[in-house]
């Protein structure tokens, strides 16, 4: 078998390892194949000491791939069992991102799924046992926060995690208005008087019915004048707005908010 592989390598510049005959993939350097198709590739299993140490290899070699079996080293250079590749200066673990308990995400999903629970203000007691315990560990022993119609805000360090606050509108006060002074005055009327007639002729026009007597001490008709009011002005005032609240909602796309509590 070794001789055959050597011959194939020398003639084709490629190697195929298989338990059956077949054409070597021309794009590959090493072609693995099994019939039936039920076998895998078992990588070298070694015990790494830390991500920054090449050992047990003599030196770092970019592109090297191994399966580490050890749990060793100290953070941030510790290693745990799994696939690692070498980038020339350190070992890097190959892994897929897994959500952590308490992670938050926005989604177009409409219901709980794969350990993600809708933040809709539900009572924690309605959750399954494990998610209920994890919610309680996060500080939500009674209800989950309600993210309905709310944006997420980073903590200032003095507020409580998961607390709903804020408003989607605000109302301006006088102190919020620009620093503008409104002034004005009416035109002066100047010095003036008003006249009236005492004991007018009996007529409906003058407010006295014909044939009746005026309630005055004598029958003489007298014109008189009121005292002068002197030059004067009238004050004025300004009325601004109607205290209508201002909306804080910018253009947006609607999603649901979920928290990861696992299964």
Q: Is 157 left (phi over 0), alpha (psi -120 to 50) or beta?
A: left
pLDDT at 9: 46
What are the structure tokens assigned to 203, written together? 């007529």
Whether residue 82 is predicted with pLDDT greater than 90 in this model: the reply is: yes
Sheet holding 116-118, edge to edge: 104-107, 256-260, 116-118
Kindly report the backbone phi and psi dihedral angles of residue 180, in degrees, each rounded to the nearest multiple of 5, phi listed first: -120, 135
Each residue of 47-71: pLDDT tens digit? 999 999 999 999 999 999 999 999 9
Domain boundaries, the chain: 2-33, 42-95, 99-151+248-263
Mean per-residue pLDDT over the chain, rounded: 82
- Domain 99-151+248-263 fold: 3.90.1340
3-state helix, strand, coil in the chain (%, to 5): 10, 20, 70
Each residue of 87-105: pLDDT tens digit? 999 999 998 788 999 999 9
The 8-class DSSP code of residue 37 comes to S
| 108 neighbors 255 (Cβ within 8 angstroms) | yes
Q: What distance in Å separates the CA atoms of residue 143 and residue 249, rounded to the nearest whole number?
A: 27
Q: What distance in Å separates the CA atoms of residue 98 and residue 212, rounded to the nearest whole number?
A: 108
User: At 126, is the secondary structure helix, strand, or coil?
Assistant: helix
Residue 227 or 252, more confident: 252
Q: Work out the pLDDT band at 143, boundaries 50, 70, 90.
A: very high
């Amino acid at each position: 078998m070794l001789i055959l592989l050597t011959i194939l390598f020398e003639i084709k510049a490629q190697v195929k390892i298989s338990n059956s005959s077949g054409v070597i993939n021309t794009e590959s350097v090493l072609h693995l194949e099994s019939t039936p198709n039920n076998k895998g590739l078992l990588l070298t299993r070694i015990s790494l000491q830390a991500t920054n140490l090449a050992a047990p290899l003599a030196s770092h070699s970019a592109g090297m791939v191994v399966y580490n079996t050890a749990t060793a080293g100290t953070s941030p250079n510790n290693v745990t069992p799994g696939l690692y590749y070498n980038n020339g200066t350190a070992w890097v673990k190959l892994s897929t991102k897994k959500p952590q308990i308490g992670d938050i995400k926005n989604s177009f999903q409409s219901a709980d799924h794969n350990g993600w629970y809708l933040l809709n203000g539900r009572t924690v007691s309605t959750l399954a046992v494990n998610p209920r315990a994890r919610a309680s560990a996060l500080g939500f022993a009674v209800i989950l926060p309600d993210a309905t119609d709310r944006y997420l805000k980073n903590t200032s360090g003095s507020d409580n995690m998961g607390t709903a606050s804020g408003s989607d509108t605000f109302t301006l006060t006088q102190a919020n208005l620009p620093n503008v002074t409104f002034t004005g005055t009416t035109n002066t009327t100047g010095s003036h008087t008003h006249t009236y007639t005492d004991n007018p002729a009996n007529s409906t026009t003058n407010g006295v019915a014909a044939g009746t007597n005026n309630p005055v001490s004598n029958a003489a008709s007298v014109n008189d004048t009121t005292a002068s009011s002197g030059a004067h002005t009238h004050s004025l005032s300004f009325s601004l707005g109607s205290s209508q609240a201002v909306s804080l909602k910018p253009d947006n796309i609607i999603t649901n908010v979920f928290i990861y509590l696992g299964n």
